């Protein structure tokens, strides 16, 4: 078991709250990492495998993500140890929200992550009687429909386009492999196709599909709508390949958009892409980043590439108590502008410092957080 005190460093966490409820069997954790730049904001996930250490890592990613896009919220994350398919899901979620009523929404605003839906965000608001308790509610309740709009995947493709242009490898005609074809992966594929790229591989938990000549994205999207994750085994085009093989197919850009730690020291030497754009949180291990850097493979960090969701969340945060829904065109325009600019800034900084984009991007984010901590007297001036 992780000693929570060992997770504390110069940045945080500021608070770790572990909660439980005997009657429902609810167990959960909230990690508020750093609030120097604003109230804690990050998604809440539900999984049987949630751990304090995992949530703390993700909360730290949120600290850097908010700072990297220069939006004034702090890093935080929460997790519930439960199966999201459980018939007791609502009771567990309500117990979790009640247990955190001292922190929500005064110190932390819940959002959506793995295992939770828009209706779950509405349940949190209902349980606490506060529209400010959660974002990510359904459109008919005034929420920003992240998954329907595909804001995170859209931002991934925009960041990739800017990075490819900066590296002198235009996105038009580039071959893209995408691990994960959920909300992020399918939206990214759609935008990649619009930008003129060729998607050569996609994957789900059921397997992967590969075609060196390119897969038809609209057909893939329709197949996923009809068959769910199993579309990779039912699709008439392309060749089914085992899950994980999509990471090492011949391509120009690789987008890991599923789970964390999927690119490690074992498979990093086999990555053929020259640009890796992190659509998921923490998909590339530190050791893998070193290996890829030595091989001349550029890795655009998660806190830059997949920050489209946090930009949309900032709009949702601002509108929590408003009677007006945020304007969709403004959300997409801001995502494109911020992520493209940040991708170039991080790659330029990496070149100046002769370091990896992860290190360069984190350095820029750290400087912003450190400045805020100093102004508030949290560290010596």
Catalytic annotation, residues: 77
DSSP states of 138-180: -GGGT---HHHHTHHHHHHHHHHHHHHHHTT--STT-EEEEE-
Taking CB atoms within 8 Å and a gap of at least 24, the contacts of 341-344 are 341/162, 342/68, 342/69, 342/159, 342/304, 342/307, 343/159, 343/160, 343/162, 343/163, 343/166, 343/300, 343/304, 343/305, 344/162, 344/163, 344/166
Q: What SS3 class is residue 101?
A: coil
Q: Residue 35 has which token pair?
A: 């609030």
CA-based radius of gyration for the chain: 20
Residue with tokens 């984010």: 365
The C-alpha atoms of residue 36 and residue 369 are separated, in whole angstroms, by 7
Please name every residue paired with 276 in a beta bridge, in sequence order, or none if there are none: 254, 299
């Amino acid at each position: 078991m992780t000693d929570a005190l060992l997770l504390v460093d110069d940045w945080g966490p500021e608070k770790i709250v572990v909660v439980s409820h005997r009657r429902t069997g609810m167990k959960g954790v909230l990690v508020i990492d750093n609030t120097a730049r604003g109230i804690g904001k990050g998604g809440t996930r539900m999984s049987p495998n949630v751990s304090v250490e995992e949530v703390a890592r993700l909360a730290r990613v949120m600290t850097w993500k908010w700072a990297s896009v220069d939006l004034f919220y702090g890093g935080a994350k929460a997790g519930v140890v439960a199966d999201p398919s459980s018939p007791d899901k609502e009771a567990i979620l309500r117990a979790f929200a009640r247990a955190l009523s001292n922190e929500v929404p005064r110190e932390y605003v819940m959002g959506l992550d793995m295992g939770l839906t828009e209706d779950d965000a509405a349940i949190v608001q209902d349980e606490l009687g506060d529209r400010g308790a959660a974002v990510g509610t359904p459109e008919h309740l005034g929420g920003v429909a992240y998954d329907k709009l595909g804001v995170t995947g859209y931002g991934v493709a925009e960041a990739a386009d800017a990075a490819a242009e900066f590296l002198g490898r235009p996105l038009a005609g580039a071959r893209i492999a995408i691990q994960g074809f959920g909300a992020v992966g399918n939206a990214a594929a759609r935008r990649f196709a619009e930008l003129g790229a060729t998607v050569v591989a996609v994957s789900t938990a059921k397997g992967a599909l590969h075609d060196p000549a390119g897969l038809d994205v609209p057909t893939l999207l329709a197949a996923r709508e009809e068959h769910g994750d199993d579309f990779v085994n039912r699709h008439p085009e392309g060749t089914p390949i085992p899950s994980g093989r999509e990471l090492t197919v011949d391509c120009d850009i690789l987008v890991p958009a599923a789970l964390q730690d999927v690119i490690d020291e074992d498979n990093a030497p086999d990555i053929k892409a020259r640009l890796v754009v992190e659509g998921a949180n923490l998909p590339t291990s530190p050791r893998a980043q070193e290996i890829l850097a030595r091989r001349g493979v550029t890795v655009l960090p998660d806190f830059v590439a997949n920050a489209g969701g946090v930009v949309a969340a900032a709009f949702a945060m601002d509108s929590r108590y408003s009677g007006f829904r945020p304007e969709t065109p403004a959300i997409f325009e801001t995502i494109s502008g911020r992520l493209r600019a940040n991708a170039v800034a991080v790659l330029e900084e990496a070149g100046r410092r002769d370091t990896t984009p992860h290190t360069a991007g984190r350095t820029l984010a750290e400087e912003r957080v450190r400045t805020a901590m100093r102004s508030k007297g949290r560290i010596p001036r």
